[in-house]
Structure 1
Amino acid sequence: MNRFMTILENTIMPVAGKLAAQRHLQALRDGIILAMPMIIIGSIFLILGYLPIPGYADFMAKTFGDQWLTKLSYPTDATFNMMGLIASFGIAYRLAEKYGLDGITSGVISLCAFLLATPFNVPFTPEGAKTAVEVGGAIPVAYMGSKGLFVAILIGLFSTEVYRFIVKKNIVIKMPDGVPPAVSKSFVALIPGLAVILIIWVIRLIVEHFGISSIHDIVGLVLGKPLGLLGGSLWGMVIAVFLIQLLWSAGLHGNNIVGGVMSPIWLAATGDNMEAYKAGHPLPHIITQQFLDVFVNIGGSGATFGLVIIMVMWSKSLQMKQLGRLAMPPGVFMINEPIIFGMPVVMNALMIIPFFLAPIANVILTYVGMDLGLVVKPAGIAIPWTTPPLIGGYLATGGHISGSIMQLINIVVDFLIYLPFYKMWDKGLYNQEKGFETTKKAS
């Protein structure tokens, strides 16, 4: 174990530290986070539309009319289903900030390029017709949401790099000193913006020339499907969680680093499940962002809620008793930095073992439960990651008690995994405290 800690400290930490500081991954993470409040707001309206209460739909129809569900979905379409559009702006904005460029200008260029890459037509079936026709001049909501997320990411990064290159080469229109800053910035963006638009336009023309409907289809085929298969599989999630715990063990924020790469995959799956849930179709994905946030990281990374319960109820050492009382309130809301850095778990050869085992056990148990149909899959409802246990499982599955039961089972398993390791840790601290008291009295 000491050898492992040495390797962790000397080999993995430097590499992980550089990865955490990589500006493109930071921009990817922070840009997508920009969409999270809107995704959660949209999910609130989704919950209100599908409350699992007998007679609820009939009551709403009698009170607000037959179109009540359609009207209640308006905010969801304008928030949750805009995650790709928001991400295209947010990623470019954050990356430009890293370069010291004007973030708003970069975000606007990326936003326009993303819309240019998207065909403005939607299928529409007229009343009485058997086949759908394409209606032009309409922005398809599907591509603005999770379906267009990978294109939004690529364009956000690419357009900002083009913008940076042209500005760095000083190929810009400069206005006299007396011109207001806002006007001057707009002219600086003229040439970079034109370059980005021309490049995306040419790519779209080439794609359409070969009979492919849009850039989205190519990106989905080349990038989206392979990454989706990897990120959406049981072993893909096990590997992701292992890496998250490995980084946390070295004192680095594993969720932010690994999530910067995997969150687009998991959020895209969340969007697919949301669309299926609204349509009443079977949910296509088990692995989504809520799978990790709600069913794996119960109490925070490392599934430490079971550990907090042990600390509060069975600690012998005074310092662990006090830490457990302090850690319980934030632990209920999935915040466990007091445990990770206060116990500490970081660089702790004993507690690192259950810190790995507990969340991986949660991944396997929850996946098997959902795969067998014993637990309802995440319904595409993006509840806040701070939602307390049992409540989170109920809401994430669209109001099914099986979600709460799954969380409860995971907490019990986590409790049992942590218990023997914690007892050894607590016993050592207790003996230290007794030895200190004995020495203090003797002196």
Structure 2
Amino acid sequence: MLERIEYIAGMIGEQRHLRALRDGILLGMPLIIIGSIFLILGNLPISGYTEWLNDLGLAPVFAKIVNGSFGLMALVAVFGIAKSLAEFYDVDEISAGIIALSSFVIVTPDLISKAGSGISYIYLGSSGLFVAIVVGLISAEIFRFFVQKNFTIKMPAGVPVAVEKSFAALIPGLMVILVWSLIYLLLGFAGIDNIHTLLTNTLGKPLGVLGSSLWGTLIIIALNSFLWLLGIHGANTVIPVIQPIWLQNSDANRIAFQAGKELPNIVTNEFMLNFVWMGGGGATIGLVICLWLFTKSKNNKAMGKLTVAPGFFNINEPVLFGLPVVLNFKLLIPFIIAPVVAAVVTYAGMAMGLVAKPAGIIVPWTMPPIISGYLATGGKISGAVIQAITLVLTVVIYYPFVKLMDNADLKEEAAEEVFNTDDKKVIS
């Protein structure tokens, strides 16, 4: 049964479209993090700081940097998704990505004014993610179909490779753009002037219920932990489907934070990565601290010393595969319960207004707890405090299970020492 589950989950995790989705969104992470840095710099919680920035003329510059980095999330994603999928099919990934980017611009409605026309930042950022995903995946599929069917222009030998690739992409690229142009035309005839609104309502709302609600979040957490216990990379299997929702929520909070308005969302990308999965999947920060401070067996103490430093930077592969946690059903209960408790306590604190909500600032996932909570909430001390509380709770949850495991390991080590001693006596 477990082998069957592992096989199915492994196939899902390696499914080409999900991999393209994951890799495409990850391509934009450097820009998102850079934008978050300037979002922090533009909104430091210091009295008179924002007025000082305005006086210097830096506030609009910082805002422009944020829009030109964080605000291009969908634009980067559509290129990255198409590129990744085309790379899987072993066709020209750069051309596929560029053509998908062009298709995204074609189907996105223009803002028209007396000064001219253009595209709103709204659709270039998180609000355009669903269209970016659909356009990226479909464009790459159409592109590779025509390439693999040899509907391409062949150039004579001796032509530079760059020129050859450009002409080879001409017909497949033309077909991709014609398809999206036709879709744009048909939607206009149907009275639908915005594909972004259409896809957000049809795809975004059902996923939004799962990705934004507490109960949906708990399901995702439990599934992620269960897959990790089977030795399957839970994050690669679960997160690609739901992360666009978290990123949309993060960006909505970012826009509200910049405008000085009430933050609309609790469950965001940073809520999950910085407040729930502290130490990595399973909130294993509590586990590595228990191994480090409260174990007596040689193996567990050594494992604690080796894993506590990476654990504080949210890298938990050493403990997952070194202890191991994978296929260790003695740790099944805390591995699921610890992140669930962290999510419930943090969500409750934010819902009651005791803890600041995530401000849409994407903090690198390797940022240690306490610091990451402070930064993710826009410099609010309550973000650090709630992380300290949940960190202690994860230690408390893991402690009895680690002690039971450690006591069993101590007995085994003692028995092994006796056995080795008896062997030496026999030999002598």
| TM-score bin, normalised by smaller chain | over 0.9
| Kept in 2: contact 1:245–1:356 (CA 8 A) | yes
1:135 is displaced (CA, Å) by: 5.8
Within the alignment, does 1:18 sit opposite 2:18 as a pair? no
Residue in structure 2 matched with residue 240 of structure 1 by the alignment: 220
TM-score by length of 2: 0.96
| Kept in 2: contact 1:121–1:134 (CA 8 A) | no
| Kept in 1: contact 2:42–2:53 (CA 8 A) | no
| Kept in 2: contact 1:25–1:261 (CA 8 A) | yes
Residue in structure 1 matched with residue 177 of structure 2 by the alignment: 197
Please give the alpha-carbon distance, in whole angstroms, between the structure 1 residues aligned to 2:190 and 2:241: 31
Once the two structures are superposed, residues 47-78 of structure 1 have per-residue CA deviations (whole angstroms, 9 ceiling, x without a partner) of 0000011222233344x1xx321111121111
Within the alignment, does 1:256 sit opposite 2:236 as a pair? yes
Which shifted more, 155-164 or 300-309? Answer: 300-309
Please give the alpha-carbon distance, in whole angstroms, between the structure 1 residues aligned to 2:71 and 2:368: 26
Within the alignment, does 1:102 sit opposite 2:92 as a pair? yes
Please give the alpha-carbon distance, in whole angstroms, between the structure 2 residues aligned to 1:399 and 1:267: 20
Residue in structure 1 matched with residue 68 of structure 2 by the alignment: 78
Structure 1 gaps, min length 5: 1-6, 123-132
Q: What amino acid is aligned across from residue 56 of structure 1 in structure 2? A: Y
Q: What amino acid is aligned across from residue 14 of structure 2 in structure 1? A: A
Residue in structure 2 matched with residue 401 of structure 1 by the alignment: 381
| Kept in 1: contact 2:334–2:401 (CA 8 A) | yes
Residue in structure 1 matched with residue 297 of structure 2 by the alignment: 317
SS in structure 2 of the partner of residue 350 of structure 1? helix
Please give the alpha-carbon distance, in whole angstroms, between the structure 2 residues aligned to 1:135 and 1:98: 43
1:225 is displaced (CA, Å) by: 2.1
Residue in structure 2 matched with residue 38 of structure 1 by the alignment: 31
Please give the alpha-carbon distance, in whole angstroms, between the structure 1 residues aligned to 2:107 and 2:286: 48
| Kept in 2: contact 1:120–1:136 (CA 8 A) | no
Cα 1:220–1:394, aligned 2, differ >3 Å: closer, same or farther? same
Residue in structure 1 matched with residue 79 of structure 2 by the alignment: 89
| Kept in 1: contact 2:229–2:329 (CA 8 A) | no
Please give the alpha-carbon distance, in whole angstroms, between the structure 2 residues aligned to 1:382 and 1:30: 17
Please give the alpha-carbon distance, in whole angstroms, between the structure 2 residues aligned to 1:208 and 1:273: 32
Please give the alpha-carbon distance, in whole angstroms, between the structure 2 residues aligned to 1:383 and 1:98: 30
What root-mean-square deviation, in Å, do the aligned CA atoms of Structure 1 and Structure 2 show?
A: 1.3
Structure 2 gaps, min length 5: 424-428
Q: What amino acid is aligned across from residue 269 of structure 2 in structure 1? A: Q
Within the alignment, does 1:229 sit opposite 2:229 as a pair? no
TM-score by length of 1: 0.93
Please give the alpha-carbon distance, in whole angstroms, between the structure 2 residues aligned to 1:58 and 1:144: 29
Please give the alpha-carbon distance, in whole angstroms, between the structure 2 residues aligned to 1:204 and 1:136: 21
Once the two structures are superposed, residues 223-270 of structure 1 have per-residue CA deviations (whole angstroms, 9 ceiling, x without a partner) of 122211221111111111111111101111101211111111111111
Please give the alpha-carbon distance, in whole angstroms, between the structure 1 residues aligned to 2:51 and 2:110: 37
Please give the alpha-carbon distance, in whole angstroms, between the structure 1 residues aligned to 2:48 and 2:419: 70
Please give the alpha-carbon distance, in whole angstroms, between the structure 2 residues aligned to 1:38 and 1:166: 33
Q: What amino acid is aligned across from residue 146 of structure 1 in structure 2? A: S
1:209 is displaced (CA, Å) by: 2.2
Cα 1:32–1:224, aligned 2, differ >3 Å: closer, same or farther? same
SS in structure 1 of the partner of residue 255 of structure 2? helix
Superposed, 1:181-220 pairs within 5 Å as: 181-220=161-200
SS in structure 1 of the partner of residue 314 of structure 2? coil
State percent identity of aligned pairs.
49
Once the two structures are superposed, residues 158-201 of structure 1 have per-residue CA deviations (whole angstroms, 9 ceiling, x without a partner) of 00000111112111111112211111111111111111111111
Residue in structure 1 matched with residue 348 of structure 2 by the alignment: 368
Please give the alpha-carbon distance, in whole angstroms, between the structure 2 residues aligned to 1:316 and 1:37: 42
Superposed, 1:229-378 pairs within 5 Å as: 229-378=209-358
Residue in structure 1 matched with residue 426 of structure 2 by the alignment: none
